[in-house]
Amino acid sequence: MSEKPFTIPDDVATIEPTDLYDRLDAGESVGVLDTRAPNSVDDWRIDGDSVDFANVPYYDFLDGASESSLDELPDARPIYTVCAKGESSKFVADVLTQAGVDDVVAVEDGMQGWETVLDSTELSADTDATVVQFHRPSSGCLSYLVVDGEEALVVDPLYAFAEEYVSAARDYGAELVAAVDTHVHADHISGVRRLAEEYGVRAVVPAAAEERGIEYETAYDTVADGEAIHVGTVSVEAIHTPGHTSGMTSYLVDEAVLLTGDGLFVESVARPDLEGGDEGAPDAAGQLYDTLHDRILSLPDETLVAPGHASDAAETAGDGSYSDALGDIAASMPALDRDRDSFVEFVLADMPPRPDNYEDIIAANLGHQRVDGDEAAELERGPNNCAATTNAMTGQ
């Protein structure tokens, strides 16, 4: 392997990814200078309403800070430099500092470090249970801890954060007793089996999803439509909600919070092509329409919808979570008022590219192949594309 074309200094100011997230979450105005090649930045970057973003690749700084490269810097300060692994961004931060640019800080471990950030927020919900939403900002993935008394259940856990869910349950004075997925995921590696194998947590999969050919080496239980998983004294009812996938299952917590997985988001609806491809997408989109109108929108308007993903277009609720009342979502999303044929046409018209490596991720989540932590990180790296539209459907 050839040597790096630059020297990484020892005295560059740095920031931990979690600290940067806290600043963004607080709405602080910052500059982000991404030093990766442009084709690595287009779909996956650190962004937000308070971010002044620029992309100038590190190789533009190999001969120092030119006038043209300085002109492209973000105006906001501080400037946080970020790359893939936290190396070239330190080099660039040093070059800029030597050129007299004030307040330049490198993000430790780059985008790989950004992947390790997991935020949590308690939902403001009318339930005896405590429902905690976990948000992974690097991908928009959302997972949930449901706690009542001394028991806890995790829904849609991520492989990378298995230990964090166990620890979070303990922080609430509970034991994590079960882990369940809403469906066979196509954009990230599920943590259900890891929690079962390494922490003795009961693994549960939707009965409808089992029909896709699940082959786990570890024992698991199934939950069918209308059945419930009990956490302490609280009931978590499974509701089969196909459309995104044939096995997609939502979970109604204490008749108050609907964990919709990838069926309904606060800003969009599910894409229907990740299981059956382009050929099966029209039928799946029709099935999604039926699910939304017959199984989800028939619930009380005050039901709190807590989805499995949040895109950059999603807005947070007053409690800081990505959630909203079902009635408010329905009122803000005109596409839900379309007739079936028009809805199908609309959903199929603007689907973004499929998630990277989605076929391998599906195979791993079915148990057809095993992956370790490094392989899981590599497979799921990048943004989620599980919504049917690139932009928010609210207001359209």
Tell me the C-alpha distance between 141 and 265, whole Å. Answer: 11
Q: Which two tokens stand for residue 114?
A: 């950004």
| Whether pLDDT at 392 is above 80 | no
Q: What is the DSSP letter of 269?
A: B
Q: Which two tokens stand for residue 213?
A: 């050919």
pLDDT at 22: 95
**Beta strand pairing status for 104-107 and 119-122?**
unpaired
Average pLDDT over residues 197-210: 96
Q: Which two tokens stand for residue 370?
A: 């095993």
The residues that bridge with 324 in the sheet, in sequence order, are 305
**238-295: per-residue pLDDT in tens?**
999 999 999 999 999 999 999 999 999 999 999 999 999 999 999 999 999 999 999 9
Q: If pLDDT is split at 50, 70 and 90, which confidence band does 1 have?
A: very low
Q: Are 142 and 131 in contact (CB under 8 A)?
A: no
**323-359: per-residue pLDDT in tens?**
999 999 999 999 999 999 999 999 999 888 887 789 9
For 176, the 3-state DSSP assignment is strand
pLDDT at 390: 67
Q: Which two tokens stand for residue 312?
A: 């950059």
Left (φ > 0), alpha (ψ -120 to 50) or beta: where does 234 sit? beta
| Whether pLDDT at 135 is above 80 | yes
83 is catalytic: yes
Average pLDDT over residues 2-15: 83
**3-state secondary structure string, 190-243?**
ECHHHHHHHHCCEEEEEHHHHCCCCCCCCCCEEECCCCEEEECCEEEEEEECCC
| Whether pLDDT at 297 is above 60 | yes
Q: Are 156 and 308 in contact (CB under 8 A)?
A: yes
| Whether pLDDT at 369 is above 70 | yes
**220-233: per-residue pLDDT in tens?**
999 999 999 999 99
| Whether pLDDT at 395 is above 70 | no
Containing 97, the helix (H) or strand (E) segment is: helix 88-98
User: Which of 33, 83, 258, 347 is flagged as catalytic?
Assistant: 83
Alpha-carbon distance values, 79 to 41, 62, 280, 387 (Å): 17, 19, 46, 32
**Beta strand pairing status for 221-223 and 228-231?**
unpaired
